[in-house]
Amino acid sequence: MKHVVKSAVAALALAAAMGGVGFAQDYNLNPNYGQANLQGGFSPDPYVVNLQAGGSIDVSQRNGACRGHITAAPDFRLNFRPGSLPLIISAASSGDTTLIINGPNGQYYCDDDSGVNGLNPAIRFDNPMSGRYDIWVGTFGAQTQPAQLHISELYSQ
C-alpha cells in the first residue's frame, strides 16, 4: 500500500510540475474495451473486463512515476457512485502489467506490482470519489498481453 501512495504522490507532483500537460494518453478518446456505470454494492463483484494490455506509448517517458506501455485511448472507463466500501481496481495477467488511472479529480494514480502474484497491479481508493475513472492497463515492453481488469469493493486480483 505504501508503494501505491508514493506512486500517486509522485504522479501528482509531476503532473503539477508539467503544468497540466500530463501523459501522452488522452482520456477523452473512446475507451478500447467499453465502459460501465457501477454504484456501491454492485454485483457481481468483481466486475471483470477481458482486454489486451499494452500499447506503443511508453508512459515512463512522460512521467517517471508511472511504468508501462499503453495506448492513447483508455482501455476502460468506469463511472462510479460509491457506497460505504473502498474501490479496488486491479489487473491480472500471466505477464508483468501496470495500471494507470485518471480519477474523477483529474489526478493520475499509478501502480506496478501491488496486486497479487507479484507482477499484477492494484490501486485501492479507501474513500472513492463519485465520477469517472479512465483506466489503462500497461505492459513492460511494447508487446500486448492478454489481461483481465478487475473492479471490486472487496479484494484485488
Rounded Cα–Cα distance for residues 118 and 102 (Å): 23
Residue 17, pLDDT above cutoff 70: no
- Confirm or reject CATH 3.60.110.10 for domain 2-152, answering yes or no: no
Which three cell numbers, joined as nine digits, stand for 91? 489487473
pLDDT, averaged across the chain: 85
- The model's pLDDT over 129-156, given as tens digits with 9 standing for 90+, comes to 999 999 999 998 888 999 999 999 998 6
Give percent of the chain above pLDDT 90: 66
Domain boundaries, the chain: 2-152
Please indicate, yes or no, whether the overall pTM of this predicted structure exceeds 0.85.
Answer: no
The residue ranking higher by pLDDT, 105 or 64, is 105
